[in-house]
């Protein structure tokens, strides 16, 4: 596999995104939604606390809405337009194609997190914030975004059009992000609660939102991302020979 080919495809995907007005709407929505959540819904300045956990707690919810908008075109639009056949005849392996799409989607996640930086940077002078905790929160956000993007791309490859890809990704991300809330609101046997929490992306993000880098959660996000990308290659391979 030549990583250079994947970056070439990623560049093409990003160029397409940057020329879409919807992309700038996504960036604006993410920035405004997270800021409104922190300052108006959570009333940050009345909490009297020197940490930004309320800010990062909303990232899983924001990703539920944003990731499907980023990934819905990736494969579904190629399939609808018939350009996927042309793409599959090019000198790219399935892994190179999938990795190229993923690099582009992850690049957008990086951009969104970059756009979120002015909020903590403007608040840091107001208190004694721990930079280590803030770094852990951003590392967790990157890992969460990577897993969600890989899952969104997989669901896009299984969909026939953008609407189906968006709705499918929205539903699955809603489940995987918030299913751990069942263990909070309903009294369940410990074994069942542990199993439910294991499949929740938001549950594994929780330790990062506290500034704790747990190796188990780190491994979960890495394995989940690789698994979703691997399944994506299987879907593309099936399309190639069908």
Q: What is the pLDDT of residues 143-196, one digit of tens each?
A: 999 999 999 999 998 888 888 889 999 999 999 988 888 777 777 788 888 888
The answer to whether residues 209 and 132 touch, using CB atoms and an 8 Å cutoff, is no
pLDDT at 82: 67
d(CA 184, CA 178) in angstroms, rounded, equals 11
Q: How many helices (H) and strands (E) does the chain have?
A: 15, 0
The tens digit of pLDDT for each residue in 93-111 reads 888 889 999 999 999 999 9
pLDDT of residue 41: 83
């Amino acid at each position: 596999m030549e990583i250079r080919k994947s970056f070439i495809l990623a560049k093409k995907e990003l160029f397409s995104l940057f020329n879409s007005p919807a992309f700038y709407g996504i960036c604006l929505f993410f920035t405004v939604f997270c800021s409104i959540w922190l300052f108006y819904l959570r009333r940050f300045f009345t909490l009297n606390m020197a940490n930004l956990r309320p800010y990062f707690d909303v990232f899983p919810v924001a990703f539920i809405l944003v990731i499907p908008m980023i990934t819905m075109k990736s494969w579904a639009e190629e399939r609808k337009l018939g350009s996927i056949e042309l793409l599959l005849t090019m000198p790219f392996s399935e892994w190179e194609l999938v990795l190229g799409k993923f690099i582009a989607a992850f690049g957008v996640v990086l951009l969104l997190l970059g756009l979120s930086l002015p909020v903590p940077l403007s608040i840091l002078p107001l208190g004694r914030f721990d930079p280590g905790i803030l770094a852990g929160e951003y590392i967790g956000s990157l890992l969460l975004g990577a897993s969600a993007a890989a899952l969104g791309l997989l669901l896009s490859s299984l969909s026939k059009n953008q609407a189906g890809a968006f709705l499918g990704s929205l539903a699955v991300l809603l489940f995987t992000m918030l299913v751990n809330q069942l263990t909070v609101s309903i009294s369940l046997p410990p074994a069942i609660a542990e199993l439910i929490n294991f499949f929740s992306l938001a549950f594994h993000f929780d330790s990062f939102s506290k500034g704790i880098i747990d190796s188990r959660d780190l491994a979960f996000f890495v394995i989940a991302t690789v698994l979703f990308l691997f399944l994506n290659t299987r879907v593309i391979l099936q399309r190639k020979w069908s």
